[in-house]
Structure 1
Amino acid sequence: MALGQLELALRVLAGLFVIVAPTLLFLGLWRGLQSMQDDALVRRVRERAEADDASGLSLSPTASPDSPVVTCPTCGAGNRDDTAYCRQCL
């Protein structure tokens, strides 16, 4: 009888481990990714994008004056001549 209760207790513990362990691993990974986030880089990119929007400039591939521009037949967006896919449609 004691062996049956021990086996049941081990199965319950194994089931709890299978349920709880992936959740704890996910939460640990999430916190690790948040701690590795480079907030200064994100802030600089956001400030640069806002400054470009305010000045009328854009980070689009059509902003380069030395590359010819072609129009996408599907959406009409301007793309560089040497690109294989439209950035808007992709």
Structure 2
Amino acid sequence: MKSETIFRVLVAGVLTVAPTLLFLGLWRGLMALRDDDLVNRTMNGEFGPVPNSLLRSGLPGSSKIGRDPTTANRAGTSLRCRICDAENPRYADYCGNCLKKIG
């Protein structure tokens, strides 16, 4: 009976501590991702070149807009929608406000 009590206390201790340790591991992982250089560059608007993919090249109208799809979006560059005059990122194909095609 004594070994059964010790086993139950041990299981209860593990089941109490394990979620806390898993949460702390998740928290540290999220903090490491937050402090990553890729996140900082993305938040500053410094994107690298967009690679040409087979999916993008097969889309109708992907290269007829007159913009180079391999260039990056830089801070301060934007396109204006002809219909609603909303500003959109340079890489956008559709307006974020009225959802009409840009270009």
Q: TM-score, normalised by structure 1?
A: 0.47
Q: Which has the larger radius of gyration?
A: 1
Q: TM-score, normalised by structure 2?
A: 0.43
